[in-house]
Amino acid sequence: MIGLVTLAVSMMSTPELSWTEAAPGVWRAQIGKKDSPTLLEAAGAEPALDRMSSPAKRALPFDLDAVRGGLAAGRAFASVPLGKTEKIFGFGLQFQGSVRRGRVFHLKVDHYDDGQDETHAPVPLYVSEEGYAVLFNSPRHLAVYPGLGNRLDEPSNPPIRDRNTDPKWQAQPFSGMVEASATAPGMEILIFEGPTPMEAIERYNLYSGGGTLPPKWSLGFWHRTPTNATAEAIEAETTEFEERGYPLDVIGLEPGWQSKAYPGTFDWSDRLYPDPSGFVKKMTEKGLHVNLWENPYFSPQSSIYEEMKPHFATHMVWMGAVPDLLHKGASEKVMAHHARTHLDIGVSGYKIDEVDGYDQWLWPDHAMFPSGIGGEQMRQIYGSVWQRELDGMFRSRNQRTLGLVRASNAGAAKLPFAIYSDHYDHGEFIAAQISTGLAGVLWCAEIRSASNSEEWVRRMQSACLSHIAQLNAWSSGTKPWSFPEVEDEVRTAMMQRISLFPYLYTSFAKYWRDGTPPIYPMALVDGGTETDQYMLGQDLLVAPIITGTKKRNVRLPKGLWYDYYSGDRFEGGSTIEVEPPLDQIPIYVRSGSVIPTIEPALHLKDALDDPLLILRRYGTGPAQADLYDDDGETFDYEKGEGAWIDLSVVGETVTQTVEAGAWESIYKRIKLLKVGAG
């Protein structure tokens, strides 16, 4: 009996790991055998070493030797120390909650379902208020136990209490570990130093390659048309946008553009689009870009079905064959078809649907793919792989894109796609957007429909201050003017999006250069746990209004803040109650900043043709802003072909400082606009 007890205890011991510094401030350890491809490999993530610097000196709150890992019960596991009151945030795109402890997370790619944590982007990354982040880089379904599950040999365990006699007994006693496990031969674990939570997230994004810098046109307004709309109907609809005075930059074509859909052919419909090249040319001449919806599963009627046969998985999705883009030659065939029939005639991007799906939608875990990957692994990385390959196709042409996708995972920061969802709760859309700053992904808080005119306005305002501003009318047929009584308020929200272009584009440039998310939660500002307010760039705090709510509380971090519209001043470190009019979404400006804007136009290309740069100044003290510009189309910015402009305002004087020899900016004319009395 004693021998058996000794054996059991030894089986529970967790060996120390061997750590290497994979990049400045990034520590890596391998548990068991490598499980390929990892999440980062699937996304094509390559560390941006030229933009990564060593962290400021501040020790992690634990020794690396205290991190353990091993193999047990057919699973690879890792254990990371956790303080008793330490708040952690993250674990991917989330629709609810903020602090991530006290419950088990099952991180699995799936369509969002009420009450579940399976999600479109189950990024197994968390960041601590203590200023570090941890990534479990495993392409498997992960179970994560943050502060749950007490190990027998853990010295930080609380005292054992008698439930019958001790009122302090707890069903979930404190556990001083974050543990993660997966049915796998091994797992890679990465720890990112801060020393602040924001710096830890920035380091993770840079280790993934740096954030995406989308093309300029993509930061305008998007409209997705009804599924079976004809080319003539879309041309008429875009004309109506102009006649009614609503901005428009991207037209999204839904399933009907294909000759067959669900499953798809990836070929144009002769019935709805008899002249695809002529249609795209007309859109381009109007200043519009065309984005194509795709369900990435092949119909036997696809023109390339036969040549793709060797690359299909054992199981189908909605009777469509599933291509394995990791199999030799598969991606080359698919992308060559896309280039020949789409990009060559001017298509600018894609919307990749149903790479998430409920369990009953996608292939089972035991499905097999020609590359040797199993169904479980492929489900976790399929969205990332499609993003990677489409991005590579555009990169080969030195052409930037921005698109939509239904699933993603770790390492996707550099991939030019935003996640979207069929789930449509307004408050949870905002919470999801906020969580993206902790996951290295983008989010499209699109508007589709509304129960009344107030909801239509409030949703439009939220959508226009997300990564992609989009109306998705694929099934509803809605237009911005669908509620005539609020046409002006909706137009105001859309035009505000256009006016903020210089600020938005600069925020994305910082995402690429520094790893700073363009939208992020208060958790990265001061540890706040709010899921209904967020930072848009580093100087604007946005507090959306949910339908039916006339008033709301806004917590302002320490320092002075100004109302974006009136210039009224507020002392930070406090919570204020606001009751905005219907045509305003509450926005607050950080003291000491000046917000670069432009005069809006119906198309971004027109707004950016000799633009008047309007610097919105708040208060009376000195103010500063960064402004970035480049050609907005190519990847030449990666070679230094761009301009960082330092704008400083003292009194009524604006000073521009530009690095010698930098890209010649389009911003030649400047106007200083003082907002409020200060």
> pLDDT, tens digit, for every residue of 466-482?
999 999 999 899 999 99
Q: DSSP readout, 526-586?
A: HS---SS-EEETTTEEE-PPPTT-S-EEEEEPSSEEEETTT--EEESSEEEEE---TT---
Which residues, in sequence order, are CB contacts of 425 under 8 Å at separation 6+? 95
* Mean per-residue pLDDT of the chain: 94
Whether the CB-CB separation of 324 and 296 falls below 8 Å is answered with no
Query: So what's the pLDDT on residue 57?
Result: 84
CA distance 354 to 263: 11
Which residues, in sequence order, are CB contacts of 498 under 8 Å at separation 6+? 220, 221, 247, 598, 600, 601, 604, 607
Query: So what's the pLDDT on residue 10?
Result: 39
Whether the CB-CB separation of 464 and 493 falls below 8 Å is answered with yes
> Tokens 């088990």 map to which residue?
104
Q: Buried (b) or exposed (e) across 480-503, using 16+ Cβ within 10 A? A: bebbeebbebbbbbbbbbbbbbbb
**Is the pLDDT reported for residue 7 higher than 60?**
no
Determine the residue type at 615: L
Average pLDDT over residues 62-74: 95
Query: So what's the pLDDT on residue 548?
Result: 87
pLDDT digits (tens, 9 = 90+) for 502-557: 999 999 999 999 999 999 999 999 999 999 999 999 999 999 999 889 999 999 99
**Is the pLDDT reported for residue 12 higher than 80?**
no
Which of the four pLDDT bands, split at 50, 70 and 90, describes residue 8? very low
Which of the four pLDDT bands, split at 50, 70 and 90, describes residue 13? low
Which tokens hold the place of 422? 């069929």
In terms of Cβ atoms closer than 10 Å to its own Cβ (0-12, 13-18, 19+), residue 376 is buried
Can the peptide bond before residue 37 be classed as cis, meaning omega within 30 degrees of 0? yes
Query: So what's the pLDDT on residue 661?
Result: 73
Whether the CB-CB separation of 435 and 93 falls below 8 Å is answered with yes
**Is the pLDDT reported for residue 586 higher than 60?**
yes
Phi, psi of 265 (to 5 degrees): -110, -20
pLDDT digits (tens, 9 = 90+) for 262-320: 999 999 999 999 999 999 999 999 999 999 999 999 999 999 999 999 999 999 999 99
Query: So what's the pLDDT on residue 70?
Result: 96
> Tokens 């064959």 map to which residue?
321
Query: So what's the pLDDT on residue 112?
Result: 67
Domains and CATH numbers, the chain: 14-199 (2.60.40.1760), 595-674 (2.60.40.1180)
The secondary structure of 595-611, three-state, reads EEEECCCCCHHHHCCCC
Query: So what's the pLDDT on residue 113?
Result: 59
CA distance 429 to 107: 19
**Is the pLDDT reported for residue 250 higher than 90?**
yes
Average pLDDT over residues 149-175: 89
Average pLDDT over residues 150-156: 86
Which tokens hold the place of 611? 């633009």
Which residues, in sequence order, are CB contacts of 462 under 8 Å at separation 6+? 426, 429, 430, 433, 445, 447, 544, 585
Query: So what's the pLDDT on residue 117?
Result: 62
Q: How many CB atoms lie within 10 A of CB 72?
A: 12
Which tokens hold the place of 162? 């008698």
Rg (CA), the chain: 25
- Compute CA distances 599 → 289, 498, 610, 611, 613, whole Å: 21, 8, 11, 7, 8
Average pLDDT over residues 170-176: 89
Query: So what's the pLDDT on residue 11?
Result: 41
